Structure 1
Amino acid sequence: MSAANTAESADFRGPLDITRAATVVLDAEDTVIGWSPAAVELLGHRPSDALGRPLSAFLSARPVEGPPVPDVPGPPPLAGNDFHVARTRDGRELLVATATCPLPGAPGGPGTPDRVLVAAEVGELRHWESRLALLQGLATQSPVGLAIYDTDLRLTWSNTAYEREIGQPLDTYRGKRADELYSGGSFVTQGYPQTLDAVMHHVLATGEPILDLHFRGQPPSDPGRDHLWSCSYYRLEDAHGHVFGVCEDAFDISDRYRAQERLTLLVEAGRSIGTVLDVVTTAEEVAEVAVPDFARAVRVDVTSAAVTGETAAAGSTADMTLLRVAERSATGPAAPDPGRSATANGSADVTDPADPRRRYPPVAYPPGSPQNRSLSSGGLVLDESTLVVPLRAGGGILGLVTFDRTVHTDAPGRAPAPVTTFDGGEVALADELAARTAVCIDNARRYTRERTASLALQRQLLPHHLPPRSAVETAYRYLPADDVTGVGGDWFDVIPLSGTRVGLVVGDVVGHGLQAAATMGRLRTSVRAFAQLDMAPDELLTRLDDLVGQPAEEQYDAYGTATDATGDGGGAASHAYDDVTTGATCLYAVYDPVSRHCVMARAGHLPPAIVEPGGRVSFPDLPAGPPLGLGGLPFESMEIDLPVGSLLALFTDGLVEARDHDISRGLDALGRVLADPSATLDELCDRAVAELVPGGTSADDTALLLVRTRELAEGRVAEWELSAEPVSVGRARELATGQLEAWGLAELSFSTELVVSELVTNAVRYAGGPLRLRLIRDSTLLCEVADTGHTSPHLRHSAEDDEGGRGLFIVAQLVQRWGTRYTRTGKTIWTEQALPLR
C-alpha cells in the first residue's frame, strides 16, 4: 500500500465533511447558485450546466428511504441525514445522502445564498460510519486495554477496558506514568527491557513497534494477585510525521497462562510422580511437584496400612492411623499445621520394630478440621486457603494431601495472612494430582504387599540356621534384590547325608517375585528329597532336570486334565510358568570327611571357588551342564580331593556380576577376598559382601555359602573286610562289640550286635563278597555293611506262618534311621543309633 493510500485510509473525516463532500449553494427558492468541484466529480454536471437551475433537476424533490443495512457491513446510517435519488449527466440514478445547513443572516431573496447542501454516496457514508463504530467499540466495548502516552510517557487517554483494570475513572489517573500505575511489575519476555518506561522509550526512539511482550504485575483493581498481559507498543505520529506519543494495547492472558501452567504441572506430575514403587517416595514426589508453583506448603498423610502394603481402608475411618510421610514448604522448614495433633499412641509407645509408626509420626485431626471433614465425607474440602484432597483407590482411602497457600509470619502476635484461595480450575487440578498420586501409591502398596509376601515365603524356604557338622564348618550370607527388581529365586542348603557326609547345594531361579520364590522352594525341597536317597550329584541333577522340565511337556487345567503346553490349551499361565522354571541353575556337591573326597556337578551354574589351606585360590574346570529344564544333555560329575582345612565357596551370579563389570572381574575380586587363611568364615562373608555388593543390595539377589572342610580322626572310624561266608557273621559281631568297648559304648553292644548280625547275614545270603563292615563314632553311631549286590532289602511285616522276614523289621525298631546307598561296586546298608546320654 502506498503512502497516499495509507494516509487516506487513516483519514477519519466524514464523506459529508464540507472539505470532501459534493457541495451545492442554494438560494431561498432552491435555485443552484454554487457548484463545487466535488459535485462535478459526483454527478458529472459542470458548473455552467448547473448554475441557475432548480435543485430538482439534479435531486428528487422528496427524500426516499435509505438503503438496506446488508449493503455495507457496519451500523445503520447516522440520524439526521436525508436520502435522495440523484441523476448524473450520463443518465444514471445514484442514491446519495444529503445534509443541509442554513446560512446565518441570509436575506432570503432570489440569487442570494440561503443555505448549503452537501451530498455523498450512501456506500461511502456507510463505510465511514463503520470505521466510527470500530473506534467506538475499541473505546467502550473492547476487552483489550488501550492507552495513549505522550512523549513524557504520561497517560493522556485510555479506553473503558483500561479503566476497569485501574478501577478508577480516567480523570483520576490521567497524567500518571505507567510505572506509577503498575509499580512492581516487570516484563518476563526474554530479550527485552523489563520496565514499562524502558520499553516505551525504545519505541519512541526507534519507531519500531514491539508486539506480544508478556508483562507480570498486580493491577490496582486486584491487589495481591499477579496478572499476566500480552502487550504491544507502537509510536503515534500526526499527519505531518511529528511524534506525539506511544500507544499501548494490553490483553489480560492470566486465565490462559494459568491454564497452561496447570497443563505444564500435570505433565511434570506425570513425569515425576510414581518413578519408583515406594509409598513414601511417591508422597515426597507429589509434594515436590506442587511446591511452590501450586501451593506454598504440601503435607501428605498416608495410612499405616498403605505403608505396610495392607488393603486400603474402606467404610469407617474412625480407627484409621495416618502417618506424616512427606512435608514440604516454599519457605524452608515445613509450615506449621494448625489442625494437626499428636495421636494417643505416639511413636514412642510403639515396640514393634517393623511398625511404620517408629519411622513416621502418627497424626490425628480434631473434629471440624478440613482434614477430618475430608476423611468423614470421602471428598475434597476447601477451607479458605487450605485444600484437602483424599487419596482414594479401589473404593478405599489411602490418605490425605493438604495443599496450603497461607503465609505464616514469625512475628509474635501476628496471625497467618491468607494469600489466595483456590479457584475452580485449581481445585480440579489438585483433584487430578491426588488421583494420580493415589494410583501410584496403590501400585506401590500392592508391590510392597507382594514383596513382603515374597520375602516371607523366601525366608521360610531358606535355611534359618545351619547346625554344626562334623564334616564341615559353614557360614553364609543371603541378600535379597533391591526394591525395584523384587525378590529373586536364589537359594542354598547344607544337607546331612549318611556316613557323616554332607551335601552342599546352591541354585538360582530365573525371574523375581512370588512365582520365583515358590519355584525356588519347590527345587530346594526336591534336592533335599533326592539327596536323602544318596544319589550321586550327576544323577541328582538329572532327576531335578526332569522335574523342572515336566511342566513344559505336560500342563494341567483347572479340572486336572492334561493339556499340551504348546497347543491352544496351554494358555498364558503355562508360558509364564515356563519362563520362571526354564533356565534355573544349580550346583550340587557331596563331601565325605572320611575319605576327604568331594564329588560335584553343576547345571548351568558358576563353578565353586576352592581355597587351599595355604591361601591358593582356584576355580575348578567343572563340566557346565545345561540349565535345568532344557533337557537332552547329560550332567557330569567331578571328584576332587580336598585337604583338611580347605575352603569351598558356593555362590550365585548376583555376587560376582553387576552392570558396571563382568563376571571375570567379580571372580577375581572374590578370589582376593577369600585368599586370607587367617580370617574366620563370618569375616570372609562380610568382606565378600562389602567388596562385591557395596550398597548392600543389587539388581539380583545374592547367595554365598562358605564351607571349611574337616576330617574324622582315625580313632573315630573302624573298618574291616569280611568274606561272604556264614562264619563272617560271628566274626562281625566280635569286631563290633570289641570296638564299642574300646570307644566306651558298651551300652550299645546288644543292639549293635543284632544290627550287624542281620545286615551281614543278608549280605552273605543275597549278595556277593567281599563284604566291608564300618563303624563311625560321630554325634551318632553309624554302622555300615557294604557288598557287591545291587538289590536293596525291603522292610516288610511277616505273616504269622512266615519263617523269616522279621530281621530288618527288628533292626528298624532298634535304630533311629536306616537306608541304602548305591556305589559303583555295589551298595551299602547303613544304620544310625543315638549315643548314650552322659
Structure 2
Amino acid sequence: MEQLPTSPGERPGEPNASQGSAYTATATISEQGIVTEWSEDARRLLGYLPSEVVGLSAAQLLAEGATDAARRIAPGQERWSGTVALKHRDGRRLELGLLAHRWTSTGGNTKWFVVSAVAGGRPAPRDEPLDEWAFAQSPCFMAVFDEDLRLVRANAGMERTLSLSEAEVRGLRLPEIAPDPVSDETERRMRVVLETGEPQHLDAFVRPTGAGTEHGWSTSLAPLRDPDGRVRAVCLAAHDRTGIEVERQQLLVSNVTGARIGTTMDIARTAQELADAAVPRLADFACIDLMDPPPRGDETSSGPVVGPVTVRRTAARSVLEGSPESGVAVGETVVYPPLSPPVECLAAGRGAAYGTADPPVARWVIDDPGATWVSESGTHSLMMVPLRTGDVTLGLAVYGRHQRREPFHPEDLWQAEELTTRAAVSIQNARRFTREHTTTMTLQRSLLPQSLPPQTALEIASRYLPAGTEAGVGGDWFDVIPLSGARVALVVGDVVGHGIRAAATMGRLRTAVRTLADVDLPPDELLTHLDDLIIHLAADEADREAAGGIGTTCLYVVYDPVTRRCTVGRAGHPPPAVVSPEGSVYLLDVPAGPPLGLGGLPFETVEVELPEGSILALYTDGLLQIRDHDIDDALDGMFAALSRPATTLDTVCDRVLTAMLTHPPEDDVALLVARTQALHADRVVVWDLSSDPSVVADARRYATEQLTVWGLEEASFVTELLVSELVTNAIRYGQPPVQLRLIHEDSTLICEVSDASSTAPHMRRARIFDEGGRGLLLVAQLAQRWGTRHASVGKTIWAEQSLVGF
C-alpha cells in the first residue's frame, strides 16, 4: 500500500512520499469476503474509520472498474499477491500492492490477513552502496533489512525460497512476509544486531513454500556498516544444511536427550546430574555454581551483572578422581570478580567458548587466585553457560577440557547450552516445588492442633505423617473438640488434592467443624452443613473440583462418658476401628455416606455403647494405601497392631505406623487413637422436677446436699444461683417434664436443666424497672461456659463452673 499525501498536491506513490515514516496497513477478511479487522494504518491509508468498514463486504472498497481480487484466488490457495485498485474515502483511486495470507485459527475459523507496505524514509530500494555492502559481506540466500527492519533488498535465491519477488515484499517486515514463530524470533535477533552490532546465529529459517520440516537451516544475521562504522542495516544470509549437517545435529540431539537430568525435585541432585551428563561425554571437567543467595521466587534479573558475583559450588565432576580442578569443595562459596569470563557470560545471558590463551581468560587466571586451577590442571578450552529460565538467572555451568586435545567447537557449545537449559528448568521447578512445599507444610502445621485440649472422657494420642516431598502436601486433618455435658467429639478428614489449596480448604473445614460442634449438632446434621460448605467453596473457584474440595471425606464421632454411648457419622471416610477391652478388633458398621460436595444425598448416624476401656482408632486412607498390598491385607496388618496389649496409647500409635508404613507414605497419614473412660453414678446425679415454681427451692436444696456429699461446699453459693435461674427458666418458659442433672468432672462442675420445649433461650439486657430478664445474664457472669443443646425432643441448658481453688 502507499502513503497518504503529506503536503498539498502530493499523491501516494510519488517520490516525495518517501519523506514520511514507513508503515504497514493491515486488515483481515473472512472467507465470505467480510472485513473483520481494520488497523489504524489502514485508516491512515484509505481514510475509513474501523466503524465504517468492519462488517462490510471487502468488494465495496474496490475502485470503479476494478476486478474483484477474490475471484483471482484459486481454491485451496494459501497466499495471494498482486496490485489492486482501491477507493479512498475521498473518492480517489489508489493502485496498491497487496499481500494476503490465509490463516486458520485453532478453533477452525479461517480468514485472510491482508498487508500492504507504505513507502517511508529508508534507504532507496536500489541504493548502490547498500547493494555492494550486502553482497560483499553475506553469502547464500540473502536479504537486507533497514533500520526499521523492513526488507529493502533480496537476491534471487531468497526470492526462490519465499516464492515471492523482491517487488512484492519490499517494505514489509519478515513476520509480515512469512507469518511464523521462526520469523518472530529472527526479527528479534535482527533487532539485537542493530542495537549491539554483534552478529547473531539461528539454526532455523522461514520454511520455503512446499518444503518439509526435514530441512535443516543455518541463518546468519550480520550488521551492515557505513564507512563511519554505524550499523545501517542487517543482512540475513541462510543456507540449507540438509544432509550430513542435519545428521550430525540429530546425533547431538540424541546425545542430549539421552542424558538423565531432573529425575528428582532435589536441586543438588539435579545439578550433579548435569555435571554427570557432561563428563566425560562433552568435557573432562564440569562444575555447577548456583547464585548465593538464590533469587527469591521467580524474580527477574534487576539489571546487568557487573560483579563480583558470589556463587555456591553445588556439583562437580571430573575424569580425574576427586575433581581436583574444582579448587573448592561442593557446598563452599566462590566469588567471581568483575570482568571475568564467568561474570561476562552471566551479564550477556548466553554461553561462550574460550581458549585459555584468549585475553579474557588469561587476564582472569592472572588476577583471580581462584582461577589458578585452569593453568594448574592443563585446561586448554573452556565453556561458560548461564543457567537461566526466562529472565531468572540461577547460576553458571563451567566446562573444561584438558585430556582431549581438540578445543570446544560451536556444536559443543550448542550441546552444553541444551544440557544446561534442561537442568535450569528442572532446578527452577525444584526451587518452586520446595518453596511451595515448605509454605504448605507451614500452613498445614499451623492449622492442625498444636496440643490436645484437656478433657476426661477419653485418653487420646495422635500422629500425623506428611507424604513424601514427591507426592506433595495433602489435606488430611484431625481434631478433638470438648462438648457440653463432659462429652467429646473426634473428627478426622481428608481433603482431595495436594498443595496450598488443599491445606487452605482443610483449615476452612476444621474451623467450620469447630463452629458447628459448638452448637451441638448431631453428626448427620453437621456433615450436611459441611457438604453445603464444600459446594459453596467450589462455586467460588474456577477449578471447582481441585479448589473447592469436592470429594473430601470426613468422620465425626461423639462420645458421652456418662452413658458410654458413641454416636458416629461419616461422609465417604473409612469407618473407625474398635478394640474391645478383651482385645478383639472390628470396624464399626457405619453407613458410608457420600463424600462432601456432591449435595442432595443424606448422611446417617449410628449409635453404639462402648464398654469402658475400649479403644477407638480413627485414621485417613493414607494409612491403608500401601504399595504391593490390597485393602484386606492392610486392614489385617492394622488389626494385628491394634490388638497387641500396650500400656500407653502412644505405643499403640507407634506400633500401627511401624506395621503399616515400611517406606515413606505416598499420601498424608492422620491417626487418632482414643481409650474410652466413664463417669460413674458417684459422679452424676439426676432429679426429675415437677413444673411448679415451688420446686425451685427443692432443686437448690438437692444441689447443695449433693455438693456436700462431693465435698464441694465452697461451690454451693454459685451453684444455688445457677440452679435457681435455670430451673426457673425451664418452668416459666419451657414445657414439662423438667430434669436437673449435676456432673462432677474432676475440676469442673456441670449443671444441666432439660425440658420438652425446643425454644432456645436468649440473653437480653433488662431495663431498670423490669421484674425479669436478668437470669441468663447472671448465668453468663457466674459460669465459665454456658449454652444450649437440642435433642430430638426438647433442649438442655447447661452451665460449667471451674472448681479450681475450691
> Is the TM-score greater than 0.5?
yes
Give 2:441's aligned residue.
455
What is the alpha-carbon distance in structure 1 between the residues aligned to residue 508 and residue 335 of structure 2? 46
Structure 1 residue 254, shift from structure 2 partner: 11
Contact kept in structure 1, 2:490 and 2:556, CA below 8 Å: yes
What is the alpha-carbon distance in structure 2 between the residues aligned to residue 596 and residue 548 of structure 1? 32
Structure 2 counterpart SS, 1:670:
helix
Are 2:374 and 1:386 equivalent residues in the alignment?
no
State the superposition RMSD in angstroms.
2.7
Q: Residues 233-632 of structure 1: matches in 2 within 5 Å?
A: 259=249, 261-269=251-259, 272-303=260-291, 306=294, 311=299, 314-315=302-303, 322-338=311-327, 340=328, 360-365=331-336, 370-375=341-346, 378-380=349-351, 382-383=353-354, 384=356, 385-407=381-403, 419-551=405-537, 555=539, 573-577=541-545, 580-632=548-600
What is the alpha-carbon distance in structure 2 between the residues aligned to residue 607 and residue 504 of structure 1? 13
Q: Give the TM-score taking structure 1 as reference length.
A: 0.60
Structure 1 residue 310, shift from structure 2 partner: 7.3
What is the alpha-carbon distance in structure 2 between the residues aligned to residue 319 and residue 773 of structure 1? 81
Asked which structure has the greater CA Rg, the reply is: 1
Give 1:709's aligned residue.
676
Mean Cα deviation higher: 319-328 or 441-450? 319-328
Give 2:109's aligned residue.
none
Structure 1 residue 379, shift from structure 2 partner: 4.5
What is the alpha-carbon distance in structure 1 between the residues aligned to residue 556 and residue 435 of structure 2? 33
Contact kept in structure 2, 1:313 and 1:398, CA below 8 Å: no
Structure 1 counterpart SS, 2:481:
strand
Structure 2 counterpart SS, 1:445:
helix
CA deviations over 1:435-494 (Å, ceiling 9, x no partner): 222122112222222222211111111111213421111111112222222111111111
Match of 1:756 among 713, 717, 723: 723
Q: Residues 771-790 of structure 1: matches in 2 within 5 Å?
A: 771-778=738-745, 779-790=747-758
CA deviations over 1:607-662 (Å, ceiling 9, x no partner): 01101122110012111111111122211111111111111110111110234222
Contact kept in structure 1, 2:309 and 2:337, CA below 8 Å: no
Give 2:170's aligned residue.
none
What is the alpha-carbon distance in structure 1 between the residues aligned to residue 639 and residue 459 of structure 2? 19
Give 1:742's aligned residue.
709
What is the alpha-carbon distance in structure 2 between the residues aligned to residue 330 and residue 576 of structure 1? 53
Alignment coverage as a number of residue pairs: 537
Give 1:109's aligned residue.
none
Contact kept in structure 1, 2:475 and 2:497, CA below 8 Å: yes
Structure 1 counterpart SS, 2:616:
strand
Structure 1 counterpart SS, 2:542:
helix
Distance 1:519 1:361, change over 3 A: same
- Letter in structure 2 aligned against 1:264: S
CA deviations over 1:746-801 (Å, ceiling 9, x no partner): 33322221111010001111222232222222332221111111111101112334
Are 2:803 and 1:835 equivalent residues in the alignment?
yes
Structure 1 residue 808, shift from structure 2 partner: 0.7
Distance 1:707 1:437, change over 3 A: same
What is the alpha-carbon distance in structure 1 between the residues aligned to residue 446 and residue 570 of structure 2? 25
What is the alpha-carbon distance in structure 1 between the residues aligned to residue 414 and residue 492 of structure 2? 55
CA deviations over 1:139-176 (Å, ceiling 9, x no partner): xxxxxxxxxxxxxxxxxxxxxxxxxxxxxxxxxxxxxx
Structure 2 counterpart SS, 1:574:
coil
Distance 1:376 1:837, change over 3 A: farther
Structure 1 residue 279, shift from structure 2 partner: 2.1
What is the alpha-carbon distance in structure 2 between the residues aligned to residue 739 and residue 837 of structure 1? 19
- Letter in structure 1 aligned against 2:723: V
What is the alpha-carbon distance in structure 1 between the residues aligned to residue 665 and residue 623 of structure 2? 10
Are 2:686 and 1:690 equivalent residues in the alignment?
no
Give 1:818's aligned residue.
786
Give 1:41's aligned residue.
none
Distance 1:489 1:790, change over 3 A: same
Distance 1:693 1:313, change over 3 A: farther
Are 2:643 and 1:675 equivalent residues in the alignment?
yes
CA deviations over 1:383-422 (Å, ceiling 9, x no partner): 5323222212242221221212235xxxxxxxxxx84432
Structure 1 residue 726, shift from structure 2 partner: 1.4
CA deviations over 1:65-87 (Å, ceiling 9, x no partner): xxxxxxxxxxxxxxxxxxxxxxx
Are 2:636 and 1:636 equivalent residues in the alignment?
no
What is the alpha-carbon distance in structure 2 between the residues aligned to residue 509 and residue 675 of structure 1? 29
What is the alpha-carbon distance in structure 2 between the residues aligned to residue 734 and residue 687 of structure 1? 52
CA deviations over 1:246-278 (Å, ceiling 9, x no partner): xxxxxxx99888645422222224xx2223333
What is the alpha-carbon distance in structure 2 between the residues aligned to residue 317 and residue 282 of structure 1? 27
Structure 1 residue 371, shift from structure 2 partner: 3.7
Contact kept in structure 2, 1:306 and 1:312, CA below 8 Å: no
Mean Cα deviation higher: 318-327 or 614-623? 318-327
Contact kept in structure 2, 1:508 and 1:652, CA below 8 Å: yes
Structure 1 counterpart SS, 2:613:
coil
What is the alpha-carbon distance in structure 1 between the residues aligned to residue 613 and residue 293 of structure 2? 51
